[in-house]
Chain A
Amino acid sequence: DTEVTQTPKHLVMGMTNKKSLKCEQHMGHRAMYWYKQKAKKPPELMFVYSYEKLSINESVPSRFSPECPNSSLLNLHLHALQPEDSALYLCASSQPPDRRDEQFFGPGTRLTVL
């Protein structure tokens, strides 16, 4: 199994809602990532988990809360988002970062905040 899956595919939420994005991989990768991609822009790194521990937080607002329950799963909890948070959220996984291998990306969740 060489794929990263993300659910849901699309999500529409209000500014007062709480929702979660899910990401799963079964490649035995020990590094997982969240990226945010605005329209016509490249993906921007948000968080990196290495061996289930948060290793990088790129100064992301606290309304985004990542969680890595185990080595196969990565969640992104959303609360009190703003309309400018609407974007494509991409999850990726790779071998541990010190091995410099490619990152495998999921298809993304398209988030719309009303």
Chain B
Amino acid sequence: SQELEQSPQSLIVQEGKNLTINCTSSKTLYGLYWYKQKYGEGLIFLMMLQKGGEEKSHEKITAKLDEKKQQSSLHITASQPSHAGIYLCGADGSGTASKLTFGTGTRLQVTL
């Protein structure tokens, strides 16, 4: 079965600082999804990457999938308190888009 390891597990950054979260897969990624979750709530979709070398941006968040398709990074520029939450990467590495496996999660706190 596919395993996704995220690093760091938790992160505290000062408002305005940049940060990067990594997601490493034990197998080739066919589709990599980034979600954000506030404590005890549903997941909010951020971005999906499929092709090796692909990079997508939305507002201040940029996600990349490396060429070998086994690692992804999520970069936040000029962090804000609204960025706080748990970031989860998800993958359908089995080749079946419905079997989404999630990473271990990264808890982000943004201090004023």
State the A residues within 8 Å of B (CB).
4, 31, 33, 40-45, 48, 50, 55-56, 88, 90, 92, 94, 97-108, 110
Contacts and interface: CB of A to CB of B under 8 A. Distances in A.
Given A108-B42, A110-B40, A100 B100 contact: no
Interface of B: 30-31, 33, 35, 40-45, 48, 50, 88, 92, 96-105
B71 to A, nearest CB: 18
3 residue pairs, one from A and one from B, having the closest CB atoms: A42-B102, A97-B98, A105-B42
B45 A55 contact: no
Given A33-B98, A55-B98, A103-B45, 12 more contacts: A43-B88, A43-B102, A56-B99, A90-B42, A94-B97, A97-B96, A100-B30, A100-B31, A100-B50, A101-B97, A105-B35, A105-B45
Contacts of B41: 107-108
A56 B99 CA distance: 8
A72 B87 CA distance: 28
Contacts of B43: 43, 90, 92, 105
Contact of A42 (B31, B48, B88, B92): B88
A55 B8 CA distance: 35
A41 B40 CA distance: 11
